[in-house]
Amino acid sequence: MRLFSRLAELQSFTKVPEALQMGRPQVTLAINQLEASLGVRLFQRTTRKVSLTAKGEAFLVRVAGILGEVDEAVTMFDAPGGIVRGRLRIDIPSALAVESFMDSLQRFRNAYPGISMTLGVSDRLCCVNQARPA
């Protein structure tokens, strides 16, 4: 799931092996096995680009939640003296990236300085749950 998530983020079968310190054939094999085991195509591949399919987008949303839960479970015992530590990734549609949200985010950062945060703002995930025309 981490490999899938990283490929969705980097959109490159060349960059992922470098980022994860793996061989390219291992990355390709793992993604092919994942798609075969799920019985769906998660990525649209061209000679120049890798992008998520609609099913890949939906899977990414679920995977992000699962990986967040795993990270939280792993780090829950790493908080000596009650200091909360860990990583938080937030992906929001650009329409929500308004000043009031950013102010709330800054208050969160001030309250929990041990949390490292990554914020992604795009409209890519906005259309995952919309009904598609027949």
**For 3-30, how does the pLDDT look when each residue is reduced to its tens digit (9 = 90+)?**
999 999 989 888 888 888 888 899 999 9
Q: Is the pLDDT of residue 32 over 70?
A: yes
pTM: 0.57
**For 87-133, how does the pLDDT look when each residue is reduced to its tens digit (9 = 90+)?**
888 887 777 777 777 888 888 888 888 888 888 887 764 444 444 44
Mean pLDDT score of the chain: 82
DSSP-assigned states of every residue in 69-125? HHHHHHHTT--GGG---EEEEEEE-GGG--HHHHHHHHHHHHH-TTEEEEEEE-SGG
Domains in the chain with CATH codes: 1-67 (1.10.10.10), 77-134 (no CATH)
